[in-house]
Each structure stands twice: as C-alpha cells, then as structure tokens.
C-alpha cells in the first residue's frame, strides 16, 4: 500500500542527475532529506544496487553542471594580457592573487610579454579550458599565496599537466606587486 506523499521522489534518478525539488509543506508530497545513503524517496538504505545508482546520479550532477556552465558561457577561467602563444610566460593564479599579479604585469610591461590564467571554478574542474591554454604557452609559472601550490596540484590531478616553476608566498601576508615582479624576473629569466 502506498503511503501518503510517496509519489514525490526527493532523490529521483534522472538523466541529468538533478532531482525535482519541492518546498516542504507542498500538499501531496513529503520532503525527505536523508543524511545517510538513501533510496529515491529519501529513506535510509544499504542495498548495494541502490547505493551504486545513487553514487552515479550524484556525480552525473557535476557533469551536468559543467556542461550547463559551458553552454551559458560562465567564466570558468579568465585570461589577461598577451595570448599564450605570444607571451614569454603564462602565470597561473586563483583568487585574491589576481590584484598584485596584474599590478606586477604593469610594472614588467617593458621587460616581458606576460599572460595570466585565472582559474575561477575548482569543482567541477574546467579541464579542457585550462589544458588548452597551458599547452599553448611557452612557459608556465604558478603563483600562489600558500606553501603547497594547491592549484598546481589540482591542475596536475585533473589534467595531468605538471607546472614546474612556482612562486609561493606563505608568510601570512598577501603578495606585494614590486616584490613579486622581482621574483618573476628571477623565475622567468
């Protein structure tokens, strides 16, 4: 016997991975948000075939997201300065490093032709966009405000591209454009 509100499937398995969502309180439907692994209703489950289906659905959602963002021309990556082929080096950055890097570009404008690749979205990762730019560059330098080059690691994980040249700053302060331009001279040569 079907219980009340069971026609609505909070975790309905769909092609896109996205399940239709209702507002709790909607008549004839119950919103079951389950923290443990669940079936389409939102009931707890340990059945292997249901668990497998739910994992596939969940990760399909990321593919759908990336596809839609591309279709809508959302800026997954941004690019500044000389095109990769013409640049002496392409700097790879994310987040607040953008300001001082663009300032350093201005300081070095008579010495180098530089390009900057800013990665905006980390998950799902815009692998094609990033790889397309990096493989066209003559030289790549990763500039990050952390010890471990988090973005360079992510790029390697997601694309296989290894960025050897790195500038890291981890003294608790943001990059200074003048100091950064000196470091860039040393690294680029």
Closest Cα to residue 57, out of 12, 119, 116?
A: 12
Q: How far apart are CA 118 and CA 77, in angstroms?
A: 6
Backbone φ and ψ for 24, nearest 5 degrees, come out as -55, 130
Name which position in 17, 42, 124, 177 contacts another protein (CB under 8 A).
Answer: 42
Name which position in 23, 106, 160, 186 contacts another protein (CB under 8 A).
Answer: 23
Q: Is 43 in the site for another protein (CB under 8 A)?
A: yes
Name which position in 9, 13, 14, 31 contacts another protein (CB under 8 A).
Answer: 31
Report the C-alpha dihedral over residues 52, 58, 60, 63, rounded to 10 degrees.
Answer: -150
Nearer to another protein, 5 or 17 (CB): 5
Q: How far apart are CA 25 and CA 52, in angstroms?
A: 30
Name which position in 75, 83, 174, 189 contacts another protein (CB under 8 A).
Answer: 75
Query: What is the strand order of the sheet 77-81 is part of?
Result: 77-81, 114-119, 89-93, 140-144, 165-168
Name which position in 26, 52, 135, 148 contacts another protein (CB under 8 A).
Answer: 26
Q: Give the x-and-dash track for 101-140 against another protein (CB under 8 A).
A: -------------------x--------------------
Q: Is 48 in the site for another protein (CB under 8 A)?
A: no
Using alpha carbons only, give the angle 53, 56, 19 rounded to the nearest 5 degrees.
80
Binding site for another protein (CB under 8 A): 3-5, 23-36, 42-44, 74-75, 95-96, 98, 120
């Amino acid at each position: 016997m079907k219980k009340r509100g069971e026609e609505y499937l909070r975790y309905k398995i769909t092609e896109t991975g996205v399940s239709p969502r209702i507002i709790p309180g909607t008549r004839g439907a119950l919103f079951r948000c389950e923290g443990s692994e669940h079936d389409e209703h939102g009931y707890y489950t340990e059945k292997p075939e249901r668990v497998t289906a739910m994992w596939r659905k969940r990760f399909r959602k990321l593919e759908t997201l990336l596809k839609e963002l591309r279709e809508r021309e959302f800026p997954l990556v941004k690019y500044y300065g000389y095109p990769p082929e013409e640049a002496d080096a392409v700097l790879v950055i994310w987040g607040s490093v953008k300001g001082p890097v663009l300032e350093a570009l201005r300081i070095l404008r008579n010495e180098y032709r530089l390009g900057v690749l800013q990665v905006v979205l980390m998950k799902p990762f815009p692998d094609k966009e990033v790889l397309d730019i990096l493989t066209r560059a003559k030289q790549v330098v990763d500039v990050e405000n952390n010890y471990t080059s988090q973005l360079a690691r992510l790029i390697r994980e997601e694309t296989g591209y290894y960025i050897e040249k790195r500038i890291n700053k981890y003294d608790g302060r943001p990059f200074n454009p003048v100091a950064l331009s000196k470091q860039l001279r040393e690294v680029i040569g």
